[in-house]
Structure 1
Amino acid sequence: MYSYKIGISAEDHDRFAIASDQTNLLQSASWAKIKDNWANERVGIYENDQLVAVASLLYQPLPMGFTIVYIPRGPIMDYTNGDLVNYTLTTLRTLARQKRALFIKFDPAILLRDSKVNEVATENPDAQLIIGNLQAAGCEWVGETTDIAENIQPRYQANLYAADYAFDNLPKKTKQNIKTARNKGVQVQFGGSELLEDFADLMKKTEARKGISLRGLDYYQKLLATYPDQSYVTMATLNLKERAELLDQQLQKAIAEKATFTENTRKNKVENNQKEIDRLTEEIKFLKGKQSKTKRDIVPLAATISLEFGDTSENIYAGMDDDYKHYQPAILTWYETAAHAFKRGSRWQNMGGIENQMDGGLYQFKSKFDPTIEEFIGEFNLPVNSLLYKLSNTAYTIRKKLRSKH
């Protein structure tokens, strides 16, 4: 016998979510505090007083008193149980009707298939049963969308797992880039709010480079304040002064060596020496130029923000100063970000979404870490107001496409 309860405690909700195989940050009770421009309600489904499903619902107000409901990466339940799925969605539709919702949109944390990079994907044997159960409960499946912008949450993501994450397991080029960053003096530190001003500056530079609009300092502060013990900033820095001094010592040594050359010195030795002098001179000029502009000895090069929920970790924002890209700071930062997550006890770290066709810049960068490529089953719509659903969903789809172009 099923029953439901509105307003279950955050503790009960999170305990169930963490114990499930669908643990996801977006279904943590605290995520609603991040999305505080939406109303929130937590619902629990019980079978004989035993909690068997949870959903953290976000309500977005619309004109004329209507709303839409979004359940990010939820509800959390056994989707192979048709009776449970039907009861849960029937209950949610009833509750949404009381809020004058036009429809409920949700994208459960259920995979359709997954694979390692450049390998044949493994199908989820329960995926078609789950899709069928949801459709039988009255849901419309958006389907296997082909554009990352078609969904609220990416349908494809790159995920790293602690069980097989190690430096030696990375692709050869990635290992070389990490070594390059370290050899060039890039240092990595982990921290919190004390790093956020530099982080926000890096994000502004990323926005300018990509021509996109992201978030500001206040939002990043809210993330860390909402997840005070489950968040960290990873930041790569370079000490301009120390690096320039080290290179100057190497330059003087190369110049001194050049002074010893005679007409009998091998040609390739002379050429290599000159190349070294030119390389060192150029980098020293670059570093001193940066130091004169920033008035700082130590500058941030790249950074990420990670949030944890249960034994999972999400790398949710990342920025870089493109002027320092030849120092490979992003590669080192992302590598250390995941390594730190696993040291803190995470089972996996989500690197974030990638293009559905796996042919864009997100995929090209994240594939360097040999992640598992995970494809979710995608979004479902559960109509609540049958008269206005089609019109409102069409308007929503058009608005989303227009926003994705800006």
Structure 2
Amino acid sequence: MSYLFFKNINQEEFDEFVKNHEYCNLLQSYNWAKVKKNWDHMYTGVYKDNELVATGLVLIKRLPLSFCMYYLPRGPIMDYKDKELVQYYFDQLKKLAKKDHCIFIKFDPAIHVNDYDSKSYNINRYKETELYLDTFKSCKAIHHGYTTSIADTVQPRFQSNVYSYENIDETLPKHTKRLIKDADRRNVQIIHGQGEWLDEFSRLVELTESRKGVALRDKGYFKTLLENYLNGGVIFLATCNVYKLNEDAKIKKVKLEKEIVQTCENAKKKLHRLEDQLRSVDKDIKEFKEIFSEFGQEDKDIAIAGILSVQYGNTCEMLYAGMDERFKKFMPQSCHNIKNMWKTLNGHLKEDVHGVIWEV
């Protein structure tokens, strides 16, 4: 058996291998290095009898005093049950690391531990992963443990996840279906594209940053993502026409007022129902007026929520999202996640081993 290690695999071969592997991940794609352009990188790989059997995008962070660190986000990509292959790959990578004055190598492979409902957290689910951990430990790797704190890892260990299949909308929970109806009732529409929606998407992300008190990414970063994933990157925007909603609300208000006048005083139950509806319509009209003060009272669509997704191989990652909080009752996130079924968040968790680090 003959292994050969290379650190400059060409893009076509590299991506073809990653896309067709069970551990396919966007963060191990060839162009991810171009997104992380503040890092150096290597496209490593192992051939076995002239066939590519392992790849690893290695990001290199330069540190003071000519030192550096290596990081393989969600990688490397290989058969982790093949102990000989795993050992060979990391032996060769550590040789490169020592020459490069690398002080440690960090990697967090997306090895699938379990799928379960988020309400059914199961602490006895790690038995099948011991095989992988034993292999890593034999390579002198240190596992950081099955942490549940997002601050303890670079990439999240838990992800909301749904597998694509036909007629998925028929299996959705009643609550989710109701949220979709709320969005439909307000005539929330979905549009999609790429660079032409960057300004609107960036505005929505900034609103989310301000509301949550977090720092996400800027327009330049989103532009880089779309440019490097022309065939997979897409921006979805949920839009609505507040002008038309306001006109409909005013018409409904007139009808309710007329019906209340025509209703007999003894029909108290009906009167209470009509009065509740009128209060709801008045509240909507007041909210629409506040929106007009910023966007103008024009017959036009307004972007109220957005998602930037990248499809790679048989996966699609929802990387960034933003929403205008003033439109939260429109349930635009339900429209995004259900009507555009690239990937849906519906309360299931996918967990990986994660948190592996070497000290070289």
Q: Normalised by the size of structure 2, how large is the TM-score?
A: 0.94
User: Could you tell me how far apart the structure 2 residues matched to 1:270 and 1:201 are?
Assistant: 43
User: Could you tell me how far apart the structure 1 residues matched to 2:274 and 2:184 are?
Assistant: 23
User: Could you tell me how far apart the structure 2 residues matched to 1:158 and 1:202 are?
Assistant: 22
Contact 1:38 1:58 in 2 (8 A): yes
SS at 1:283's partner residue? helix
Work out which of the residue numbers 351, 354, 360 in structure 2 matches 1:378.
354
User: Could you tell me how far apart the structure 2 residues matched to 1:161 and 1:107 are?
Assistant: 22
Aligned match of 2:186: 184
CA-to-aligned-CA distance 1:314-356 (integer Å, 9 cap, x gap): 001011111111111122222233x1x2xxxxxxx3x6xxxxx
Aligned match of 2:321: 318
Matching of residue 46 in structure 1 with residue 47 in structure 2: yes
User: Could you tell me how far apart the structure 1 residues matched to 2:77 and 2:317 are?
Assistant: 18
CA-to-aligned-CA distance 1:25-68 (integer Å, 9 cap, x gap): 00000111110000011011011111111001000010101000
Aligned match of 2:277: 276
Contact 1:305 1:315 in 2 (8 A): yes
Letter in structure 2 aligned against 1:22: Y
User: Could you tell me how far apart the structure 2 residues matched to 1:33 and 1:200 are?
Assistant: 21
Work out which of the residue numbers 218, 230, 251 in structure 1 matches 2:232.
230
Work out which of the residue numbers 116, 133, 136 in structure 1 matches 2:135.
133
**Counterpart mapping for 1:213-228 below 5 A:** 213-228=215-230
Letter in structure 2 aligned against 1:74: G
Aligned match of 1:79: 80
Flag structure 1 segments of 5+ consecutive residues without an equivalent: 342-348, 352-365, 385-406
> Structure 1 residues 124, 313: CA separation in 2 closer, same or farther (over 3 Å shift)?
farther
Matching of residue 17 in structure 1 with residue 24 in structure 2: no
> Identity across aligned pairs (percent)?
32
Structure 1 residue 160: Cα displacement? 1.1
Aligned match of 1:336: 339
User: Could you tell me how far apart the structure 1 residues matched to 2:152 and 2:65 are?
Assistant: 26
User: Could you tell me how far apart the structure 2 residues matched to 1:293 and 1:380 are?
Assistant: 49
Aligned match of 1:327: 330
Letter in structure 2 aligned against 1:259: V
> Structure 1 residues 64, 17: CA separation in 2 closer, same or farther (over 3 Å shift)?
same
Structure 1 residue 227: Cα displacement? 0.5
User: Could you tell me how far apart the structure 1 residues matched to 2:259 and 2:287 are?
Assistant: 24
> Structure 1 residues 286, 379: CA separation in 2 closer, same or farther (over 3 Å shift)?
same
User: Could you tell me how far apart the structure 1 residues matched to 2:225 and 2:9 are?
Assistant: 23
**Counterpart mapping for 1:102-251 below 5 A:** 102-119=103-120, 123=125, 126-163=128-165, 166-251=168-253
Structure 1 residue 238: Cα displacement? 1.2
Contact 1:170 1:370 in 2 (8 A): no
User: Could you tell me how far apart the structure 2 residues matched to 1:21 and 1:164 are?
Assistant: 21
User: Could you tell me how far apart the structure 2 residues matched to 1:156 and 1:370 are?
Assistant: 11
Contact 1:240 1:288 in 2 (8 A): no
Structure 1 residue 248: Cα displacement? 1.2
User: Could you tell me how far apart the structure 2 residues matched to 1:336 and 1:100 are?
Assistant: 50
Letter in structure 1 aligned against 2:307: T
CA-to-aligned-CA distance 1:161-204 (integer Å, 9 cap, x gap): 11266122111111101111110221111221111111111111
Aligned match of 1:89: 90
User: Could you tell me how far apart the structure 1 residues matched to 2:158 and 2:260 are?
Assistant: 55
Aligned match of 1:346: none
Letter in structure 1 aligned against 2:320: Y
**Counterpart mapping for 1:285-324 below 5 A:** 285-295=286-296, 297-324=300-327
Letter in structure 1 aligned against 2:87: N
Flag structure 2 segments of 5+ consecutive residues without an equivalent: none
> Structure 1 residues 153, 134: CA separation in 2 closer, same or farther (over 3 Å shift)?
same
CA RMSD of aligned residues (A): 1.7
Contact 1:111 1:124 in 2 (8 A): no
286-295 vs 94-103, greater mean Cα deviation: 286-295
User: Could you tell me how far apart the structure 2 residues matched to 1:203 and 1:238 are?
Assistant: 18
Letter in structure 2 aligned against 1:30: N
SS at 1:237's partner residue? strand
Structure 1 residue 277: Cα displacement? 1.6
SS at 1:214's partner residue? coil
Letter in structure 2 aligned against 1:104: I
Aligned match of 1:362: none
User: Could you tell me how far apart the structure 1 residues matched to 2:240 and 2:63 are?
Assistant: 48
Contact 1:38 1:60 in 2 (8 A): yes
User: Could you tell me how far apart the structure 2 residues matched to 1:95 and 1:51 are?
Assistant: 19
SS at 1:163's partner residue? coil
SS at 2:192's partner residue? strand
Contact 1:231 1:306 in 2 (8 A): yes
Contact 1:171 1:370 in 2 (8 A): no
Contact 1:238 1:299 in 2 (8 A): yes
